[in-house]
Structure 1
């Protein structure tokens, strides 16, 4: 995978004139004085060591014969190249075929949960009790991160991060994919996310019970928390794989930190795909066509209508109650399993 990334950066020529961050890695083997310059493998190795081990730029001087500023420049340009090369593939929005594959895989793995891949998908934000730039992510049990929103600094919590993110943009534009499933005999056409109790009562969120008062909600809480572990793993694995995410980043600008985070998310998804664990592989033929052209009035009307559906509390309570009954009414042999 390392060789692939280096070669993709080295051979990139889709845009002319070549962007500066690609030019940085396309340096000739010798400079004007005839002295050998740093090659692309040295620069990429420096970046990978900074990302994976949290090594400071100064630590790489003796090993790679690179100065501190050169290591910083390599990191910044590598992140720009990674995002430009792989964003469309490894941070893409799910297609209808992706949704169908996730649904089928969910039925295979989670037989006792509500019948769709949503049951092990959720929204979460990472915070450590001190000033942070928070990450919102949607992930499945294969650890693929389907949506990542990172950037706003300051005083944030799960609610205002969700309000600022683009998670529900497709839904508000009435372009969300159809998710047909039946739970406890009721038909639903939209997927939902498992979320913490702090979130608002939206029609696409199913929240956990802080203090379940009866056997039904107690059982549902147990199943829901077992499914919600997947996003915690999706946060934990990248932090274990890229130690730079656990270190302070005060010397860096907001934009550089954002590029570094999105690069780590892209590389994480590349590893999932490289290890053949991804549920839904990338297929260019399945990428949806361009969105339909709408007038300003049409866009505003659609968004207001879909916003009303999104914030419908009655639908939220109906959707929250149905999975509880669905799980409670499962046959005894499935409960034991």
Structure 2
């Protein structure tokens, strides 16, 4: 009897209805992609309701350059072409996808910030930005993030000799930190330093010229490193150490130097490829040489314009994947250089039309690509670049050269 009662109780419990659980389904939001595309095209491209100034303000570039980027992405990648979904509805157009990516980079807002205007959901907008940055880097890096050629080195020295008065100057070098909000907890100690920021950061090393063109960008080093640590792992001088970089020379104070140099702040080492200011100068010629601080602001201005143009770099990064963050940084730098080329003066226009002599920074011997060396030649090239005495001689020659140009004695 007791066994039968237990079986009956168990059967009654099984017959009782289970506790109802809420079923969470994905919310379907109807989005009219075709109408949105026509409105976007009519507002900015066909017979634009908003003029060129507003287009440049919202897209950070001229209309012709934006359409050039859209066309390059559409020709090369299937993702940026108009396709139909499995249910037969048309997808987003290339202009919609590129606009969603540009707006996120330019304004630094959330991924669904422009859903009301572009009718692109949060996930799709994030995907558009990731593919856009990766594609920009793959297509345009060889053109807009390349190493300077021998002719570029000559033009850079001529431009900086004319604008700043420093013979042999190739540009300015410095580092910038970008905060990483969603840095994994296990990595926070590696990416955090108390000097620059109390939050995890990633370091960008860059070389910029007078036009704010960024010739060198090295991004991805943990924020706990300082500028010297970044320099040790940077590929900036790899070609020069292997004697395969551009071989240039210039005259300063009657002496010939066979390496161009970059203006740097006080933390950088005393190498022959860096030109630092003189601290606590007492002589008039050294005080006049302190204008190096003003000329070195080229790279600081480049950082400022880069962050102002692409607001996503100004605030903490909310991305999770390190590779995506690197793609975003390089894509912003590449488009920055594209805008400089599209809107700024050509590099050759900065050369003095009256003929710049050797004292103004033009190479006295034609620049050429060096021959790869082995053994002792590589060791010699490595040591020559790091000679402290060579740095001191170069600095003294530049001080005398600037003072002579000013008319001092």
Same fold (TM over 0.5): yes
Question: Counterpart in 2 of 1:201?
Answer: 270
Q: In structure 2, the residue corresponding to 1:58 is in which secondary structure?
A: coil
Deviations 1:170-217 (A, max 9, x none): 111102212221111111111011111111111111112232232222
Q: Which residue of 2 aligns with 1:254?
A: 322
Aligned partners of 1:114 and 1:323 also within 8 Å: yes
Instruction: Return closer, same or farther for 1:252/1:57 CA change in 2, 3 Å cut-off.
Output: same
Unaligned 5+ residue runs, structure 2? 1-64, 178-195, 350-366
Q: Which residue among 151, 162, 172 is the counterpart of 1:122? A: 172
Could you say what the CA RMSD is over the residues aligned between the two structures, in angstroms? 2.2
Question: How much has 1:277 moved relative to structure 2?
Answer: 2.3
Length, aligned pairs only: 308
Confirm or deny that 1:152 pairs with 2:152: no
Alpha-carbon distance in structure 1 between the residues aligned to 2:370 and 2:131: 32
CA contact (8 A) 2:247 2:368 kept: no
Does 2:73 correspond to 1:9? yes
How far off its partner does 1:164 sit?
A: 0.8
1-side partners of 2:70 and 2:229: how far apart? Answer: 38
- Kept after mapping to 2: 8 A contact 1:139/1:230: yes
Q: Secondary structure at the match of 1:59?
A: coil
Do the aligned residues in 1 keep the contact of 2:246 with 2:368 (CA within 8 Å)? Answer: no
Task: Report if aligned partners of 1:196, 1:208 keep a CA contact under 8 Å in 2.
Answer: yes
- Please give the alpha-carbon distance, in whole angstroms, between the structure 2 residues aligned to 1:129 and 1:300: 43
In the aligned structure 1, how far is the partner of 2:403 from the partner of 2:109? 51
Runs of at least 5 residues in structure 1 that lack an aligned partner in the other structure: 13-21, 282-287
1:70 CA drift (Å):
0.7
The within-5 A match list for 1:301-316 is 301-316=376-391
Note closer, same or farther for the CA distance 1:300–1:135 as it changes in structure 2 (3 Å cut): farther
Could you give the per-residue CA deviations for residues 257-311 of structure 1, whole angstroms, max 9, x where no partner exists? 1110000000000001111424159xxxxxx99997x6xxx65544322211111
Change (3 A) 1:147 1:39: same
**Structure-2 residue corresponding to 1:180:** 249
TM-score normalised according to structure 2 size: 0.71
Q: Which runs of 4+ in 1 moved over 3 A?
A: 288-292, 298-303
Say if 2:137 is the partner of 1:87: no
Post-superposition offset of 1:58: 2.0
Between 208-217 and 175-184, the greater mean CA deviation after superposition? 208-217
Is the alpha carbon distance of 1:153 and 1:331 closer, same or farther for their aligned partners in structure 2, counting shifts above 3 Å?
closer
User: Match for residue 169 of structure 1?
Assistant: 238
Q: Which residue of 1 aligns with 2:97?
A: 43
Q: 1:239 to 1:172 in 2, by over 3 A?
A: same
Answering whether residue 373 of structure 2 is matched by residue 321 of structure 1, we say no
Hey, what's the Cα distance between the residues in 2 that align with 1:252 and 1:301?
45
Cα deviations by residue, 1:214-233 (Å, 9 ceiling, x for unpaired): 22221111x21121111111
Distance 1:97 1:290 in 2: 10
Distance in 2, Cα, partners of 1:309 & 1:317: 13
- Partners of 2:274 and 2:337 in 1: how far apart? 25
CA shift at 1:253, angstroms?
1.6
Q: Which residue of 1 aligns with 2:118?
A: 64
Q: How does 1:12-31 map to 2 (within 5 A)?
A: 12=76, 22-28=77-83, 30-31=84-85
TM-score by length of 1: 0.85
Whether the 8 Å CA contact 2:252–2:397 is kept in 1: the answer is yes
Instruction: Compute the displacement of 1:3 (Å).
Output: 0.6
How far apart are the structure 2 equivalents of 1:137 and 1:69? 32
Given the alignment of the two structures, is residue 269 of structure 1 paired with residue 358 of structure 2, yes or no?
no
